[in-house]
C-alpha cells in the first residue's frame, strides 16, 4: 500500500480479518509469555506457542470462605467449560512426582507446606496436557497474598477470580450440616443437598473441622487473608453473593467467567443500526458519531449527495430518486463502498443506517468486505412508529420540525403553515413498516450477533445502552453442553 498515492484506500478486509482472528491479542499474549519465560530459542518458542493454540482456554480461580459453595461452583464450571477441576488436595495425588513426595513429607511431619513448594506443584500440574489444552478451574488457592504474588512471579496467573461471599451466620449454619462420602469424596448437605440413594445416605459421615468453633477460626483466617489476595489481583476478580439459590449463583459466575477483559487492540467501531421507520436511527447515529468521532454514514443521504453532485453513478440513480423508487442494490453498493473505503471510515470507524434492509443486501455488503462488528436492532411497536411519523410536520419557512403531541408549534401562525411530508402519511408509513418486517427476520438470522434495543424510551437512554454494548467486549460463547445419552 503506497501511502503517497491519493486517495489512500485501505482494504476493509484488513481490519475485518485482524479483528475476526484477534491478531493483535495473539501477538500480545505471545510477547507477554516470551518475556515471562525468556526461552533461549525465542523463535521456536513462539512457533510452539502458536501451535498450542490455547490462549482462549479458561483459567479460573474460585475463592470463598468455608461453606460458601466454592467446591460446587468449581465443579459446575469445570463441567460447563470442559476444563480441568483442580483443588489443593489434587496437587498431592500424584505418586510419581518428586515435588509431591517432598510436599507429602511435610504433611507427614504435621508441618505447613512452604508457599514456594505449593507454587512449584501448581506449575507442574498446569503444564500437563489436560490443563494446557482444556484450561483449568482451581478451587481454594491462593490462600494468602504471598501465595498470590508467588503465582504471578512464576508466570501463572488466572484470567478470572470468582470470590463467593455470604454472611458468617449463614456460613456457620451451612458448614455444620455438611456430610461427606468417604468412598467417592462427594460432599452433601443435610438440608440443601441430601442424596436420594439410601445406600449413599448410610455411607455419609461428618467431616472433621465443621464444629462452630473450628469453622469460626477458619472464617477468621479467611477474612484476614482475602483483602491481601484481592490486592494482588485488583482487576480480574468479582465478588458474588453466595447466599442465594445455587443455580442463580452459578449463572452469575458463568456470566463473569465468559466475559472478556477489555482488549488493548486498536478498535475501529463498525456499527450497523437497523430498525423500523420512526425508531430513531438517524438520531442515534448522530449522537454516536458526535461522541466517538466516527463517520455517520446515512445511506439515503449519500445517495442524494451523489445525485446532487452529478457524478457518473449519481446520474444513474437520479431517475430512481425522482420517481421515489428503490435504487438497485448494485448502484447503492457502488456509492456506499466508495464512502466506506475512504480513509476517515477506515481509521475512525463508522455507523451505518439505511442499508442493508434484508439478508440479500447484507450478503452483498459482506462480499464487498464491509462487515459491522456491532449490530443493533432498534425495536418499537408499529403504533408508536405511526404516531411518531404521521403526526410530525415541518415549517417551510424556518425548516423546523414539529410534532402534534411531543413538540407542537409555538404560535398559531406557525401552526397554520406547517406541512406534512408525503412520505409521513399514515398509509405510506404502514407500507414502510410492512417492508421492514418482511426482511427483519432474515437479516437477524444472517448477522446472528444482533443486539435488540428498546427504542420506545428517551433517546439518551437508548444511546447509553448502545454505548455500553459498543465499548464492552462481546462475551464469549459458552461451549455446547454435551448431549445427554
DSSP assignment string, 144-173: SHHHHHHHHHTT---SEEEEEE--HHHHHH
pTM for this one?
Answer: 0.62
Grid look-up 447466599 returns: 243
Q: Residues near 232 by Cβ (< 8 Å), separated by ≥ 6?
A: 142, 145, 148, 149, 152
How far apart (Å, rounded) are the C-alpha atoms in residues 148 and 391? 64
How far apart (Å, rounded) are the C-alpha atoms in residues 331 and 306? 11
Residues 291 and 406 in one domain: yes
How far apart (Å, rounded) are the C-alpha atoms in residues 50 and 44? 10
Q: Residues near 177 by Cβ (< 8 Å), separated by ≥ 6?
A: 189, 190, 191, 192
The string of pLDDT tens digits covering residues 14-54 is 777 777 777 887 887 788 778 877 888 888 888 877 877 76
Q: What is the mean pLDDT of the chain?
A: 85
Confidence of residue 485 (pLDDT cuts 50, 70, 90): very low
How far apart (Å, rounded) are the C-alpha atoms in residues 151 and 153? 6
Contact 91, 117 (CB under 8 A): no
Residue 448 carries which DSSP code?
A: -
What is residue 479's predicted lDDT score, i.e. its pLDDT? 56
Nearest 5 degrees, angle CA 414-CA 416-CA 418?
Answer: 70
What is residue 94's predicted lDDT score, i.e. its pLDDT? 67
Q: Which of 19-33, 74-88, 318-332 has the highest average model confidence (pLDDT)?
A: 74-88
Residues 231 and 277 in one domain: no
Overall number of domains in the chain: 2
Strand partners, 139: 62
Residues 77 and 153 in one domain: yes
Q: Which alpha helices (DSSP H) does 293-403 contain, by range?
A: 299-308, 312-322, 329-340, 343-348, 359-367, 382-390
What is residue 17's predicted lDDT score, i.e. its pLDDT? 77
Domain final residue, candidates 229, 258, 287: 258
Give me the half-sphere count of Cα atoms (radius 13 Å) on the Cβ side of residue 258.
Answer: 16
What is residue 242's predicted lDDT score, i.e. its pLDDT? 92
Residues 246 and 353 in one domain: no
Residue range(s) defining the domain that contains residue 136 = 55-180+210-258
Residues 89 and 161 in one domain: yes
What is residue 7's predicted lDDT score, i.e. its pLDDT? 53
Whether 129 maps to a domain, the answer reads yes
Give me the half-sphere count of Cα atoms (radius 13 Å) on the Cβ side of residue 168.
Answer: 11
How far apart (Å, rounded) are the C-alpha atoms in residues 301 and 354? 9
Q: Return the closest-CA partner of residue 56 out of 90, 92, 83, 19.
A: 83
The string of pLDDT tens digits covering residues 146-187 is 999 999 888 788 989 999 999 988 888 777 777 888 777 777
Residues 240 and 317 in one domain: no
Kind of pairing, strands 178-180 and 187-189?
Answer: antiparallel
pLDDT higher than threshold 90 for residue 271: yes
Whether 291 maps to a domain, the answer reads yes
The enclosing domain of 102 has a CATH number of 3.40.50.300
pLDDT higher than threshold 80 for residue 88: yes
Amino acid at each position: 500500500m503506497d501511502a503517497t498515492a491519493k486517495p489512500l484506500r485501505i482494504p476493509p478486509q484488513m481490519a475485518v480479518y485482524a479483528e475476526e482472528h484477534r491478531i493483535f491479542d495473539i501477538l500480545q499474549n505471545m510477547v507477554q509469555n516470551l518475556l515471562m519465560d525468556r526461552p533461549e530459542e525465542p523463535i521456536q518458542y513462539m512457533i510452539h506457542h502458536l501451535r498450542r493454540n490455547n490462549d482462549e482456554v479458561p483459567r479460573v480461580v474460585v475463592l470463598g470462605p468455608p461453606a460458601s459453595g466454592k467446591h460446587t461452583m468449581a465443579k459446575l464450571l469445570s463441567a460447563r467449560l470442559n476444563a480441568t477441576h483442580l483443588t489443593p488436595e489434587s496437587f498431592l495425588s500424584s505418586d510419581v512426582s518428586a515435588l509431591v513426595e517432598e510436599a507429602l513429607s511435610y504433611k507427614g511431619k504435621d508441618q505447613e507446606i512452604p508457599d514456594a513448594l505449593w507454587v512449584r506443584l501448581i506449575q507442574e500440574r498446569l503444564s500437563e496436557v489436560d490443563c494446557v489444552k482444556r484450561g483449568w478451574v482451581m478451587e481454594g488457592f491462593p490462600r494468602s497474598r504471598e501465595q498470590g504474588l508467588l503465582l504471578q512471579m512464576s508466570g501463572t496467573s488466572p484470567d478470572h477470580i470468582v470470590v463467593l461471599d455470604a454472611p458468617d451466620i449463614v456460613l456457620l449454619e451451612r458448614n455444620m450440616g455438611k456430610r461427606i462420602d468417604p468412598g467417592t469424596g462427594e460432599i452433601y448437605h443435610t438440608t440443601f443437598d441430601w442424596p436420594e440413594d439410601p445406600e449413599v445416605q448410610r455411607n455419609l459421615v461428618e467431616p472433621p473441622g465443621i464444629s462452630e468453633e473450628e469453622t469460626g477460626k477458619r472464617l477468621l483466617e479467611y477474612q484476614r487473608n482475602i483483602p491481601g489476595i484481592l490486592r494482588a489481583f485488583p482487576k480480574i476478580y468479582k465478588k458474588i453473593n453466595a447466599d442465594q439459590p445455587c443455580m442463580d449463583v452459578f449463572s452469575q459466575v458463568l456470566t463473569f467467567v465468559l466475559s472478556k477483559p477489555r482488549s488493548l487492540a486498536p478498535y475501529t467501531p463498525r456499527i450497523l443500526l437497523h430498525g423500523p421507520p420512526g425508531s430513531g436511527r438517524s438520531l442515534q447515529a448522530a449522537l454516536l458519531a458526535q461522541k466517538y468521532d466516527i463517520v455517520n454514514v446515512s445511506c439515503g443521504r449519500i445517495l442524494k449527495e451523489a445525485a446532487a453532485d452529478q457524478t457518473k453513478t449519481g446520474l444513474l440513480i437520479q431517475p430512481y430518486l425522482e420517481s421515489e423508487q428503490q435504487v438497485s442494490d448494485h448502484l447503492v453498493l457502488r456509492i456506499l463502498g466508495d464512502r466506506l473505503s475512504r480513509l476517515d471510515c477506515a481509521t475512525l470507524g463508522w455507523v451505518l443506517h439505511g442499508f442493508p434492509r434484508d439478508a440479500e443486501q447484507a450478503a452483498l455488503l459482506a462480499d464487498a468486505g464491509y462487515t459491522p462488528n456491532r449490530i443493533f436492532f432498534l425495536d418499537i411497536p408499529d403504533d408508536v412508529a405511526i404516531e411518531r411519523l404521521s403526526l410530525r410536520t415541518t415549517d417551510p419557512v424556518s425548516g423546523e420540525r414539529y410534532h402534534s403531541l411531543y413538540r407542537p408549534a409555538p404560535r398559531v401562525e406557525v401552526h397554520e403553515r406547517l406541512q406534512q411530508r408525503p412520505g409521513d402519511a399514515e398509509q405510506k408509513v404502514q407500507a414502510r413498516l410492512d417492508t421492514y418486517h418482511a426482511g427483519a427476520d432474515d437479516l437477524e438470522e444472517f448477522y446472528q450477533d444482533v443486539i435488540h434495543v428498546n427504542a420506545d424510551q428517551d433517546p439518551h437512554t437508548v444511546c447509553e445502552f448502545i454505548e455500553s454494548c459498543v465499548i464492552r467486549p462481546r462475551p464469549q460463547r459458552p461451549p455446547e453442553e454435551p448431549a445427554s445419552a
